[in-house]
């Protein structure tokens, strides 16, 4: 049974038909990437998984369980965490308080303390700055914080919305290294990216989204070699 | 002396000075009234701070909940302990009043909190300025509802609480009201302090920062907002209940207008949104200021807004901002500071 399965998902914003029948699967232990142009529906897809938007038609299954009955705040308890687009950090709280919020859904103090150590190992910069107000962090540091905060929920499935957005090239490499590390430690990842080049390097598989529809789904290697992908998303002629 | 004990000892000392001093008439009646108002204003400011400061919503009808608490508890105690033309002779012995007047005040708080629930359900459906508009309307509605209830005195007001207090002091002559108000004020501070440093309270602040992200962390945002609002309204009801049993033992709808709500807001913004100690300081300061400006009559409402404007210009985040006394005086951190982080022990 796949970790995550979307079956013919249609989602709307008012009359705008944003997702026109998305079907995809993510297996346990995988990194799957979703690439596509601006407005293709990548964020919307993640929103329907995390419960922020309910599909009007179609189903979202997490390990076989229909998520339709759950609200966004309940889906966290099912083991799904999201690093939202634009990061959504709590600007006036400190780094430590943000991480604290990440563990809101948990009661196991010992496990939380362990995970805190783990995210500080993953992002040593956050450790140095744990008492700093999050809004004063640099963009890259805020991105680290958003990722670290999501990890504090100890998710089995991590949804990441453009983690490389607005970062300097050196930092981008770093972020993708971290993503691989998180995955190696056992977290399944669904990764939305504009930076198809990097995304296809770390992912096992990927889907290409165009105006609300999946037009292609293949292994990362397969996609990298696909002429259409090369032309439209990898900038090769 | 251990640091942990310093604050409880200070509170105890304050209690002894205020209550003891009033009992021995070291403080005259005027000062006793000032202490009483300070207590009430602390409850009003600190409770409103939960909504307008920590949660980042805008409630501007706090006096309405005060009115509910004042009338409900006033009616109960007059019915129980006083001779009244509507409720007839007292139904309970005055000696029970020592216990049951505080109970009536708490019931007033529960009633206010229930009204809060009725308002919160529609207001928190969507984000935005709904709460501000609805609470504003509720302030007017509660006032005119009371004005139209002839049985409790309508616009002329409701009295009889003085007889209740007289009956109780005839049993044992100590400053009961100041004792209850003191406990109410300290209780409010402890309750809100506990609330905001709990996991639940962290959820309240996360909602203020980013409601969607808070939901993604697992915060049931509607539920958290509802509970916080009910706690805040309930405490305003308690303040109202105490107020109703104050000097003169008389209340009327005109005491709970939007002006009263504004006073509470002024104290919150003066003290700093999201700072309990700042709000306590501003409640003390503001009460004393009102007393000093009393000779000006209505013109104090020229001076106070002016003060607010100056404040916004020179200290836009209030006296304390969102800091606590413990951040300014590290010795007090164990009591008033932000919670210590669980930093790994390795460093
Ligand atoms: N809140 C909204 N209300 C109305 N339309 C929306 C809303 N959010 C997104 N849309 C529309 O839905 C479509 C898909 O948007 P979505 O945010 O999913 O795109 P995306 O693939 O994440 O794009 P980007 O790479 O720019 O982030 C777009 O046409 C967008 O204009
Ligand atoms: Mg997007």
Residue-level pLDDT at B329: 64
Give tens-digit pLDDT for B283-303. Answer: 999 999 888 888 888 787 788
Return the structure tokens found at B193. 């302090």
User: In sequence order, which residues have a C-beta less than 8 Å from that of residue B325 and are 6 or more positions away?
Assistant: B277, B332, B336
- What distance in Å separates the CA atoms of residue B21 and residue B44, rounded to the nearest whole number? 25
Hey, where are the domains in chain A?
4-79+155-232
pLDDT at B218 over 60: yes
Asked if B220 has any chain A CB less than 8 Å from its own CB, the reply is yes
pLDDT at B72 over 70: yes
Give tens-digit pLDDT for A32-50. Answer: 999 998 999 999 999 999 9
The domain over range A4-79+155-232 is classified in CATH as 3.40.50.2000:
no
Residue-level pLDDT at B340: 41
pLDDT at A75 over 90: yes
| Rg (chain B; Cα; Å) | 20
User: In sequence order, which residues have a C-beta less than 8 Å from that of residue B90 and are 6 or more positions away?
Assistant: B80, B81, B82, B83, B167
pLDDT at B20 over 70: yes
Q: Is A18 in the pocket of ligand 1 (CB under 6 A)?
A: yes
* Phi/psi of residue B294, nearest 5 degrees: -50, -45
> pTM for the complete prediction?
0.88
Q: Which of A73, A100, A120 sits opposite B215 (nearest CB)?
A: A73
Considering A5-9, A170-174, B295-299, B322-326, the range whose residues carry the highest mean pLDDT is: A5-9
Q: Predicted confidence band at B234 (pLDDT cuts at 50, 70, 90)?
A: very high
Residue-level pLDDT at B106: 97
- What distance in Å separates the CA atoms of residue A190 and residue A157, rounded to the nearest whole number? 7
Q: Return the minimum-mean-pLDDT range out of B51-60, B120-129, B278-287.
A: B120-129
Residue-level pLDDT at B3: 66
Q: Predicted confidence band at A111 (pLDDT cuts at 50, 70, 90)?
A: very high
Share of chain B above pLDDT 70, in %: 92
Measuring CA to CA, how many Å separate A93 from each of A114, B6, B206, B274, B280? 21, 28, 8, 12, 22
pLDDT at B176 over 70: yes
Measuring CA to CA, how many Å separate B241 from each of A185, B104, B183? 58, 8, 13
Q: Check: CB of residue B192 under 8 Å from CB of residue B46.
A: yes
- What distance in Å separates the CA atoms of residue A208 and residue A218, rounded to the nearest whole number? 9
Contact list, A100 vs chain B (CB under 8 Å)? 202, 341
Residue B220 CB neighbour total at 10 angstroms? 17
Q: If you average pLDDT over every residue of chain B, what do you get?
A: 87
Residue B294 CB neighbour total at 10 angstroms? 9
Q: Predicted confidence band at A66 (pLDDT cuts at 50, 70, 90)?
A: very high
Q: Check: CB of residue B258 under 8 Å from CB of residue B139.
A: yes
Residue-level pLDDT at B347: 33
User: In sequence order, which residues have a C-beta less than 8 Å from that of residue A89 and are 6 or more positions away?
Assistant: A98, A134, A135, A137, A142, A145, A146, A149, B209, B210, B213
- What distance in Å separates the CA atoms of residue B83 and residue B89, rounded to the nearest whole number? 4
Residue-level pLDDT at B128: 62
Cβ B218–A73 below 8 Å, yes or no?
yes
- What distance in Å separates the CA atoms of residue B329 and residue B8, rounded to the nearest whole number? 17
Residue-level pLDDT at B345: 37
Give tens-digit pLDDT for A136-175. Answer: 999 889 999 999 999 999 999 999 999 888 788 888 888 8
DSSP A42-83: HHHHHHHHHTSS--SEEEEEETTEEGGG--HHHHGGGTEEEE
Q: Check: CB of residue A48 under 8 Å from CB of residue A11.
A: yes
Q: If you average pLDDT over every residue of chain A, what do you get?
A: 92
pLDDT at B199 over 70: yes
Residue-level pLDDT at B131: 87
Q: Is A48 in the pocket of ligand 1 (CB under 6 A)?
A: no
| Ligand (nearest to CA of A40) | 1
Residue-level pLDDT at B332: 59
Hey, where are the domains in chain B?
27-257
Report the separation in Å between the CA atom of A44 and the middle of ligand 1, taken as the mean of its atom positions: 6
* Phi/psi of residue A177, nearest 5 degrees: -60, -45
pLDDT at B212 over 80: yes
pLDDT at A237 over 70: no
Residue-level pLDDT at A132: 94
Chain A nearest C-alpha distance from B261 (Å): 27
A4-13 and A16-26 beta bridge pairing: antiparallel
């Amino acid at each position: 049974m796949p970790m995550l399965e979307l079956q013919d998902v249609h989602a709307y914003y008012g009359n705008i038909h944003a997702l026109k029948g998305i079907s995809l699967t993510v297996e346990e232990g995988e990194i799957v990437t979703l690439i596509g142009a601006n407005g293709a529906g990548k964020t919307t897809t993640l929103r329907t998984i995390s419960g922020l938007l309910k599909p009007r038609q179609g189903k979202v299954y997490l390990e076989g369980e229909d998520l339709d009955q759950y609200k966004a705040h309940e889906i966290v308890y099912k083991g799904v965490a999201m690093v939202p687009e634009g990061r959504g950090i709590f600007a006036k709280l400190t780094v430590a308080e943000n991480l604290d919020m990440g563990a809101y859904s948990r009661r196991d103090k010992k496990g939380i303390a362990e995970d805190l150590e783990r995210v500080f190992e993953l992002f040593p910069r956050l450790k140095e700055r744990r008492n700093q107000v999050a809004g004063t962090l640099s963009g890259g540091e805020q991105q680290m914080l958003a990722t670290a905060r999501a990890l504090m929920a100890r998710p089995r499935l991590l949804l990441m919305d453009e983690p490389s957005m607005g970062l300097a090239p050196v930092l981008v490499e770093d972020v993708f290294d971290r993503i691989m590390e998180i995955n190696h430690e056992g977290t399944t990842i669904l990764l939305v990216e504009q930076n198809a080049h990097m995304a296809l390097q770390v992912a096992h598989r990927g889907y290409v989204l165009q105006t609300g529809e999946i037009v292609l789904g293949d292994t990362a290697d397969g996609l990298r070699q696909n002429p259409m992908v090369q032309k439209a998303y990898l900038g090769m002629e | 002396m251990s640091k942990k004990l310093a604050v409880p000892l200070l509170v105890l000392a304050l209690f002894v000075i205020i209550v003891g001093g009033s009992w021995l008439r070291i403080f005259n009646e005027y000062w006793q009234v000032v202490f009483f108002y300070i207590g009430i204003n602390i409850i009003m400011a600190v409770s409103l701070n939960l909504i307008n400061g920590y949660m980042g919503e805008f409630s501007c009808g706090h006096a309405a909940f005060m009115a509910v608490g004042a009338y409900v508890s006033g009616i109960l105690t007059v019915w129980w302990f006083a001779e009244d033309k509507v409720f007839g002779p007292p139904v309970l012995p005055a000696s029970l009043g020592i216990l049951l007047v505080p109970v009536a005040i708490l019931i007033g708080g529960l009633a206010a909190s229930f009204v809060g629930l009725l308002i919160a359900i529609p207001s928190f459906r969507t984000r935005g300025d709904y709460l501000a508009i609805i609470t504003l309307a509720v302030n007017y509605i509660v006032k005119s509802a009371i004005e139209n209830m002839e049985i409790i005195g309508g616009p002329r007001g409701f009295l009889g609480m003085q007889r209740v207090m007289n009956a109780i002091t005839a049993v044992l002559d100590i400053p009961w009201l100041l004792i209850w108000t003191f406990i109410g004020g300290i209780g409010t501070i402890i309750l809100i302090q506990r609330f905001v440093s709990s996991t639940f309270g962290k959820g309240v602040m996360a909602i203020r920062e980013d409601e969607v992200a808070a939901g993604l962390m697992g915060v049931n945002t509607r539920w958290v907002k509802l509970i916080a609002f009910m706690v805040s309204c309930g405490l305003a009801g308690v303040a109202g209940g105490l107020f109703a049993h104050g000097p003169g033992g008389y209340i009327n709808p005109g005491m709970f207008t939007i002006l009263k709500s504004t006073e509470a807001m002024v104290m919150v913004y003066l003290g700093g949104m999201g700072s309990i100690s700042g709000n306590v300081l501003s409640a003390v300061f503001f009460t004393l200021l009102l007393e000093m400006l009393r000779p000006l009559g209505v013109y104090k409402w020229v001076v106070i807004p002016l003060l607010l404007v100056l404040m916004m210009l020179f200290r836009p985040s209030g006296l304390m901002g969102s800091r606590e006394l413990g951040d300014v005086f590290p010795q007090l951190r164990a009591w008033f500071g932000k919670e210590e982080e669980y930093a790994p022990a390795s460093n």
